[in-house]
Every structure is written in C-alpha cells, then in structure tokens.
Chain A
Amino acid sequence: MIGFAAPGLAALALAGCSPSGGEAAFPSRAIEIVSWATPGGPTDLLSRALAEAAPPHFDGRRVTVMTRQGGAGAAGMQYLQGREGDPHVLGVFTASGTVNMATGRIPFSPGDFTPILRIQIDPFLVAVRDDSPFHTLGDLFEAAHARPGEVSVSGFGAASAHFLGFARLRAAAGDPDVRWIAYEGSADAVVAALGGHTDAAHTNYNIVREHLRAGTMRVLGVALPVEALPDTPSYAEQGYDLTPVHWRGVVGPPGLDPALRAELRARLMAAIEDPGFREYMERAALEYATMADADAFGVWMAEEVATSRDMLRRLGILDE
C-alpha cells in the first residue's frame, strides 16, 4: 500500500530545500514514475520499490508507477520527453537504454532527458555449471583460442548491454572466437548453461545467486568485486582491465529547472536511504552506486553511449 505518512512533518523537514518564490511549491501533485520495462523484471522492481519508499520524502504525495511499454522502451521515453520541465514525471533509465541509443534502436540521446540520480549497479559475471572444465576466464578463452567457434556463451539479447559487456571482455582477451548465443531473457540464458546447451552464461549476480549457494553453478569472473563473492576474482584481477556493469538510475523530462533538479535529487537520495528500500537492495543483491552529482550521472550516460557505439563499430554491427 502507498503510505500517506504525516505530510506536515515531512514538509517541515524538507522546508529547507523547497524553492522559494512565486511558483507553486514542489510537489504540487502526485509523482509519476513511467515504467517501460518488463513487469516483474529488475528495472520494473526498482521503479516499484522507489514508489513505495518515496512518498514520505515527497511531502506525502502519492507516487505511482505508470506502465508504458513498447518500441524497445521508446513509448515510455517519448511520454517522458514530452513532459518538458515537469518535475512530477520521472523514469528509470538503464544500461539497456544507452545501448539502444547507441544502436539507434530508440530515437533519443541522453540530452533528451535530465539525469538526476544513478542509484544502483549490477555487475556482469560469467558463470558455468558446476561440472564445467573451466575454472577461470582464462580457461574459457584459451579453449576458444584452441577451438575457434566451439565455445559458446549464452546471454540476454543481441547488440544489448549484456552482449556489449561480454564483447568488451572478449576484446580484452584478444578476440577469441567465442560464440554468443542470444536469449530472450537473462534467466533463459542461465537455463541454457544449466542444461549444458551452452558452455557458460553471461548474467548478473542475483540471477545465479541461488545456484552459487547450492553449488550447482560457479562463477569464472565478475566485473567488479562483489561483497557476496569474496573468493571470485574480478575481471581486473584476472588481467582484463575493464568493469562493465549494468546500472539503473532516475531521469526526468528535458528542461528541468536546475533548482528543481537539485531538489529532486536530494529527495530521491533520502528515499533510497529508507529502510524498506535498503532491504529491497539487499534482497535483490544490488549495490548502491550514486554519483557525486547529477552532472556526473549525465557524463556517465554520454560516455556509455560513446563506449557502446565504439564497440558496435569495432564489431561491424554499426557503420563507421
């Protein structure tokens, strides 16, 4: 249920950051979070956890998740983009969004939105079934060098954030011919590795967590050291100097007033410190990754588009 926690009290606490002047005080109505992600998926869950935690930090206003799917996310983004300057409409942007910008699959660029707060990262990792002959990333890539085209890795999508995350790792390993087998979802890709149909799966920690605990799967390497995986060497520790991650953060419509943007960021920062939100982060095995300020998040998004575009050109998927 959405809480209507003591609006007066919250307003008092936040009075310091409200913009002064003739304009109506923010928030003047309910907050909408536009969700263009699959229902129940990690991005949709973030939107919903945020909607749950936010009301006390938004003067008790209602926070609702509005589903607008379609066009690889473009339908929802278009709606957000059309609400220029309105601080009451937000969206959750992810690595998939910037990759889709790079491929041109969605007709937007980071400049079409106002970056507000990066919230979490979800490091990529490469996992195998417990009986796999591979124990390190080196084993996997050596096998691929020795038997070109015979080693397969399953993962979510083609020319997707997952695909590019793995492509960058493969490039760092000297471009061995590892076959990327694209699946409709990350869980499907893990099933393929579990069933022995592919040699490894490229996925995120929370999807294989239970299989790691049960010992039915092992991790060859993780992009960034994960607290829960103290014994698993990161990509860098295995000599691959890169840290591809999945990330998610909140953006607003274009043309947000800088003062309102700062205020939104402050309120959201408070919301994600909420005990309920912290619990969600822990349960979903995600790591906080807020950046110094909103501008840094904007720079990050632009860099992600550029890195993705470089990789896509290098692979010949995108024309020069």
Chain B
Amino acid sequence: MSAFLDGLLTALQPGNLAALLAGSLLGVFAGAMPGLSSTVGLALVLPVTFALDPTPALLMMVSIYMAAEYGGSITAIAIGVPGSSPALATTFDGYAMTRRGEAGRALGISLFSSMSGGLLGTILLVVALGPLSRAAIAFGPAEYFGLGVFGLSIVANLVGKDPFKGIVSALLGLLFFIVGLDVLTGAPRLTFGTNALMDGLGLVPMLIGFFAIAEALAAVTGRRRSTPPGSGIAGALPKARELFGLWRTILRGSAIGGLIGAIPGAGATIASIVAWNEERRVSKTPERFGTGLPAGIAAPEAANNSCVGAAMIPLLALGIPGSASAAVLLGGLTVQGVAPGPLLMTERSELVYALYAGFVVAVLLMLAVGRLGIPLWTRVVRLRSSILMPLVVAISLVGTFSLRGNAADAWAALFFGLVGFAMLRGGYPLAPAVLGLILGPMIETNYRRALSLSSGSHSVFLESPISLVLLVLAAVSFAAPAVRSRLISGRTRALDTGPDTHEGPGTHEGSDTHDHEPRREEHE
C-alpha cells in the first residue's frame, strides 16, 4: 500500500500531472475523431515522449490510451459514428438515446461507466497481474478459434427481424476480411492484382463507410433522417441514482473487458460487443436493447475502459503487447530503456507503482475532461443535419487518410459507404458485417494454425477445456434468440409495436418510424 502511495505522490508531481492532463485531452480528442484511435494518438506523441523522462512519458501514454476509450463513445452517441472501433457497440443504444433527445444523459452514462470500468480494470491489473498473465498465454490457436466463434455467435442477436438478411450481412463481412495477404501462406487473396488491397480492407474504413458515409447518403437522398432534429435535444445529465443503479451492469461489463482485454490480440472491440451482448442476454427485456437502454451504453463502455488496464497485464508481466495501442506503448518504453517482462516488477517497482497510480489519476482526469466536454457535444448534436453530416463525412475521410497516410483507405471508406447505403436500402443490418470483418481473421487463421499443429485432427478444439466451453457458449448464444422467440412469440410481437413509448418521450420520431426501421432492426 505504501508503495502505491509513493506511486501516487510521483504521479501527482507537477510535471507528471501535466503529462497526464495533456494525455487526457489528446486521448479524448483522438478517441472522438472518427478515423483516429488510441493507437494513432499514441503514435502521434511517440516522438514527444523521447524527450521526456520515463515516468511522465509512460503516464502521458497511459492517459491517452485510457481517455481515448471514452472519447470513442462521444461520436458514437452524438452522431452514431463510432469515434474508434471499441465504441461500435455503444452506438446501438447510445445513438438511439440521442435520437430520443437525451444526448446528455447518454454521454453521462458513458462517462460514468468508462470511469468505473477504467478503475476496475486498474484494480484487476494490480491484484491479478501474475495469474492473469499466465492465463493469457494459455490461449493458443484452439482457444482463439473458440473465442472467435463465440464472438460471431452474437450475430444471432444483431440480425433483427429477418435472420436471412442478418446472415447475409455477416457473410459479407467474412468475405471482406479475406481480401489481402493470407497470414499463413503470404499469398494475396482477392486483391485483383492490385497492391493497394495487399493489406486488406480495414475496420476503420468500414466503420467510417457504414456509419458516416452511408448514413449521410441516406440523409441526402431523403431516405432516412439520420440525425436528430435541432430542437428537443437535452443536455441534461443523468441522475446519480440512475448511474449507481447500473452497478451490476458496470461490474459485468468490466469483468468481461478485464478478461478479454488480458488476452493478447482479442481487444476492446470484441470485449465491448461481448459485454453488450451479455447484458442483453441477462436482461429481462432483451428485445428492447438497441432502443436506447442505459445498460446498453454502460456495459460496452465499462468493458472497453476496463480493457486498458487489462491490456497492460501481458505487456508488463511478459513484455507482450496485447493490443495495437499496447504495441506502440512498448515501443515508447523500449526507447526509454524500460524493458517490460518478468523482472520489471522487481527491478523497476517504483515505475510500476507510479504507473498504477497514474492509471487512477488518468481515470479521474478523463472524468473531468469528459464532463467539461458534454455541453459542447450536446450543442454539436443540435446542428442541422445538412451542416453536420457533410462535416462528419469530411472529418471522417481526413481521419481515415491520416491513419496510415494512405489514400487507398479513404477510397475503401467510400466503397463501404456505397455498400452500406445499398444494405440500408435493402433492409440489411450493418453490425453483423462489422462483426464478420473483426472476427473472421481470428477464426480462420487460428482454425488453420490449430489444425496445422494437430496434424489435421479436429479433436483439438474439444480437448482444450477453454475452447470447448467457448464453443458450447457459442452454440447456446446462437440458438437462444430463435428458441426464445418461439417460446414467447406472442409477447415479443406485442412489445415490438411500441418500445419507444415505454422507454421515453421519442415523440419526434413518430412521423418517420418507418425510415428508421432498418437501423433499429439490427438489435431487436
């Protein structure tokens, strides 16, 4: 404990505190800008950290990482475009709540859940560093395959009223992931002989295309009014009672984020979608998820912030970066002469404790920076869509380009914009395709790796207890919606007609309920 207090004193020194604050501001910005992410924010400050001492350098980086995970939810909630991929699941209920005129409430719930998740993830990091790092390396090809299949089974809850269209969407996502170099053979697949497709179609261009460009196209062609009207948006924050009432959801979300975040390569995007889905599964009213439920925001936001602390577990204990952001962090540490690994805790304990304390301070600064920003964001939401949407598209395209300095990514975003627009018009939900693109590579490469190691025997997936449990969970999760709807088909139909009237005002949507159908169908 006294080591932690020493760490806290270190983190609160003026120079270190300034580094933490700078990191929080930059992190919220990088997270909220569609196209930018915590990884890009970290890469941007990497040269700056060269000039700093190890402690402030490290603190600035963790604070960016932490704040960016909340930042992503700002755009997800305000305009329905995930600011970074871990905020994807937050768009489901967050944007629905904004459309109902409660942007302030949604942002408040996200901020509180992000803070709680961030703190719980830090506690997990401090108390479970050793055991969780050992558990993380137990994940081999068979286990990753199980996790990927389990993640994909969530599609069953995202397909909406027409399972056929949902499955087509998921298959499209799986088709898109194939594009690029095959990791296991190095052979190009579906690149049509062009070098630009060699690195595959990225998740960020897809998110930008689907959620910014396709929506803007729909708005322009008058098919959908995808941004809320100027009036009726309240900046009112949620009541403390409501926030604390979410404690069970936040605990569950943080636990899921903590466990998945500690597994190298799984990541916050998968964790937050799984958290949203689990929350829906345990809910008494699963069919209302996606219509703007507080729990639908709290679960993924607690999960993606809890992932930050958890991602540090393999990094600190084993020197293994668990995420793209952690990889940049590792690069920064290397330059500072700090070598994470089994000996870090004994040799550099003062730095590790300063890092722990820095996490706590970073979370609190994120809360302050985030709270100050809410009035601004609720004003942005009030902009007319004819002004807001072109702005969003322009910013998104610039963000997509700056991600890798590659114009091909902006073209890919435009391509996905057209695909997404066509899918929206046809009533195909978009989320399953995103899930396919994220999980496809994990499932395919690990399936082939596992078989290569087992000389072609499939029993390897059943012999591993972790993989077996995950595959059984996947089967249950996949079958559950169908079984449930057969059991209570009458009740579901009754609820379908008026979820909004039950949940909140939502009257401004009354006139164009039909136009909003496709988007909402994703989650019902």
Which residues of A are interface residues toward B (Cβ below 8 A)? 1-2, 38-41, 44-45, 48-49, 51-52, 65-72, 74-76, 103, 105-107, 149-150, 152, 157-160, 163, 179, 181-185, 187-188, 190-192, 194-198, 206-207, 209-211, 213-214, 216, 279-280, 283-284, 317
Contact = CB atoms under 8 A, between A and B. Distances in A.
A210 B331 contact: no
Interface in B187-231: 187-188, 195-196, 198-199
A72 B335 contact: no
B140 A210 contact: no
A48 B342 contact: no
Contacts of A157: 183, 186
A253 B244 CA distance: 60
B27 interface: no
Contact of B137 (A66, A69, A106, A194): A194
Closest 5 CB pairs of A and B: A210-B341, A40-B331, A214-B342, A197-B140, A40-B328
Contact of A284 (B39, B334, B452): B334
Contacts of A49: 50, 335
Contacts of B188: 105
B331 A39 contact: yes
A159 B185 CA distance: 7
Given A65-B47, A158-B182, A179-B453, A214 B198 contact: no
A182 B184 contact: yes
A211 B331 contact: no
Nearest to A76: B405
Interface string B150-193: 00000000000000000000000000000001111111100000
B481 interface: no
B327 A182 contact: no
A69 B404 contact: yes
A149 B410 CA distance: 44
B405 to A, nearest CB: 4
A40 B406 contact: no
Contacts of A40: 42-43, 46, 327-332
Given A65-B47, A149-B455, 15 more contacts: A1-B48, A40-B328, A40-B332, A48-B50, A66-B405, A70-B404, A71-B196, A75-B195, A158-B186, A187-B264, A195-B137, A207-B319, A209-B339, A284-B335, A317-B186
B4 interface: no
B471 interface: no
A72 B198 contact: yes
Given A48-B50, A68-B406, A179-B452, A158 B184 contact: yes
Contact of B138 (A69, A195, A210): A195
Interface band, chain B: 35 or more
B196 A191 contact: no
Interface in B107-150: 137-141
Contacts of B453: 152, 179, 181, 197-198
Contacts of A52: 47, 50
A39 B46 contact: yes
A50 to B, nearest CB: 11
Interface of B: 39, 42-43, 46-48, 50-51, 137-141, 181-188, 195-196, 198-199, 264-265, 314, 318-321, 327-332, 334-337, 339-344, 404-406, 408-409, 445, 449, 452-453, 455
Contacts of A213: 341-343
Contacts of B50: 48-49, 52
B342 A210 contact: yes
B331 A188 contact: no
B36 to A, nearest CB: 13
A71 B329 CA distance: 24
A187 B340 contact: no
Contact of B318 (A66, A194, A284): A194
Nearest to A107: B195
A95 to B, nearest CB: 15
Nearest to A284: B334
Given A40-B327, A75-B406, A157-B183, A210 B335 contact: no
A211 B409 contact: no
A103 B404 contact: no
Given A45-B331, A45-B335, A210-B343, A69 B47 contact: no
Nearest to A157: B186
A157 B187 CA distance: 11
A67 B50 CA distance: 18
Contacts of A194: 137, 318, 320
Nearest to B404: A69
A71 B335 contact: no
A280 B334 CA distance: 8
A159 B186 contact: yes
B137 A38 contact: no
Contacts of B319: 187, 207, 210-211
A149 B453 CA distance: 9
B198 A105 contact: yes
A65 B46 CA distance: 11
B47 A188 contact: no
